[in-house]
């Protein structure tokens, strides 16, 4: 879910609606020049050279794990009706003006191995919906567009355009396959296409921002401890998450907040496998990108029936894979 622009720069979705055709035009290959994106910092990690015949490339499959994630110690769930609304929208409050951005350190990478050393707790069987850069699912809602995210006011431009296909001027999703490393087929992304959101916005939600130092597990570690008083720095953006569905394991980076809730610390950082507060979209506790949708083998391209298990992982515990071809390192902007 996207948040509105912050501080002294309020967003008007009508203005975003005017800007969307220009951005989508660049995606669809029309004659209008593509807008110059703000500087983004990415780390391009080369994929090992395949051993097939010259001129071919072997697809990179998601990591497989024969066993399910370890059970949680004391599950606690809240029952709620399963609903399937047509819009994902929650009015947001306008946050305080933010200060100068801080630089996000470049993640390091380990060899291709399971992230068995992670000590973060698992969250089991969480409903996950799909979103994508450039999506506009409710033009009348404050958080009804993925043209921008809560951490990037120019997300679609920084990413490189519509993360999908443009049909009739609309940015739509598409099926992703291992043959293309689950990357989009109609554009070249400038940021990691393996992205997701979680319902804790430590930048723009006043309550979440106020308690982020107490609830985010890595807040006391360098370099995050020095970022706590920086009103423009997010401790969530670009963090890695490990996701499992059946025998498939994939990894992605946090690039937005939602769905539906923005201060659900008890679910996001809890150790008791708590259910998300959000009761919409089937009670979804995260959105994943089309790349993660394909990598995890979701049944629907844009539904609310797929469930995943997930946990945070540190940078050094992320194995090489299609999710490390491009690593997003740009700070909140």
Mean pLDDT of 213-224: 97
DSSP H helices, the chain, are: 13-28, 155-159, 206-215, 265-268, 290-296
For residue 223, say if its preceding peptide bond is cis, omega within 30 degrees of 0. yes
249-264 per-position pLDDT tens digit: 999 999 999 999 999 9
Which contiguous run of DSSP H or E holds residue 127? strand 123-130
pLDDT of residue 237: 98
| pLDDT over 80 at 132, yes or no | yes
pLDDT of residue 91: 39
Mean pLDDT of 12-39: 41
pLDDT of residue 118: 73
Nearest to 106 by CA among 212, 238, 17, 211: 238
Report residue 296's pLDDT band, with 50, 70 and 90 as the boundaries: very high
Mean pLDDT of 223-247: 97
| pLDDT over 60 at 29, yes or no | no
Mean pLDDT of 150-159: 96
| pLDDT over 80 at 53, yes or no | no
The Cα–Cα gap between 28 and 25 comes to: 5
pLDDT of residue 117: 60
The Cα–Cα gap between 149 and 155 comes to: 6
Mean pLDDT of the chain: 77
| pLDDT over 90 at 23, yes or no | no
| SS3 at position 121 | coil
Better-predicted residue by pLDDT, 266 or 56: 266
| pLDDT over 60 at 138, yes or no | yes
pLDDT of residue 63: 53
Report residue 145's pLDDT band, with 50, 70 and 90 as the boundaries: confident
Mean pLDDT of 136-155: 83
Structure tokens that stand for 87 in this block: 């819009």
Enter the DSSP assignment of 27: H
158-189 per-position pLDDT tens digit: 999 999 999 999 999 999 999 999 999 999 99
Q: Which of 130-144, 231-245, 299-313 has the least mean pLDDT?
A: 130-144
Q: Confirm if 183 and 208 have CB atoms less than 8 A apart.
A: no
Report residue 141's pLDDT band, with 50, 70 and 90 as the boundaries: low
**Which residues face 253 on adjacent strands?**
195, 240
């Amino acid at each position: 879910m996207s948040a509105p622009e912050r501080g002294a720069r309020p967003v008007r979705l009508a203005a975003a609606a005017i800007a969307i055709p220009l951005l989508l035009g660049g995606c669809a290959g029309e004659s209008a020049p593509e807008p110059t994106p703000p500087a983004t910092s990415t780390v391009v990690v080369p994929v090992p050279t395949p051993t097939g015949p010259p001129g071919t490339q072997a697809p990179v499959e998601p990591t497989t794990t024969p066993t399910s994630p370890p059970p949680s110690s004391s599950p606690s769930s809240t029952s709620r009706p399963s609903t399937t609304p047509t819009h994902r929208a929650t009015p947001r409050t306008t946050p305080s003006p933010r200060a100068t951005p801080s630089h996000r350190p470049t993640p390091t990478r380990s060899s291709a191995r399971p992230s068995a050393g992670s000590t973060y707790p698992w969250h089991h069987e969480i409903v996950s919906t799909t979103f994508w850069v450039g999506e506009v699912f409710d033009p009348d809602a404050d958080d009804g567009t993925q043209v921008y995210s809560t951490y990037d006011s120019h997300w679609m431009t920084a990413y490189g355009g519509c993360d999908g296909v443009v049909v009739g001027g609309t940015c739509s999703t598409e099926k992703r396959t291992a043959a293309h490393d689950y990357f989009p087929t109609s554009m070249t992304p400038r940021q990691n296409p393996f992205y997701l959101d979680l319902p804790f916005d430590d930048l723009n939600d006043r309550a979440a921002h106020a308690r982020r130092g107490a609830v985010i597990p890595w807040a006391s570690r360098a370099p995050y401890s020095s970022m706590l008083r920086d009103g423009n720095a997010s401790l969530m953006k670009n963090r890695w998450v490990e996701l499992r569905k059946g025998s498939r394991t994939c990894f992605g980076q946090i690039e937005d907040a939602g769905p539906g809730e923005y201060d659900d610390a008890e679910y996001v950082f809890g150790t008791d496998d708590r259910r998300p507060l959000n009761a919409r979209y089937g009670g979804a506790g995260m959105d994943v990108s089309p790349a993660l949708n394909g990598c995890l083998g979701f049944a629907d391209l844009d539904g609310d029936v797929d469930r995943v298990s997930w946990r945070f992982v540190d940078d050094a515990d992320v194995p090489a894979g299609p999710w490390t071809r491009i690593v997003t390192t740009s700070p909140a902007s």
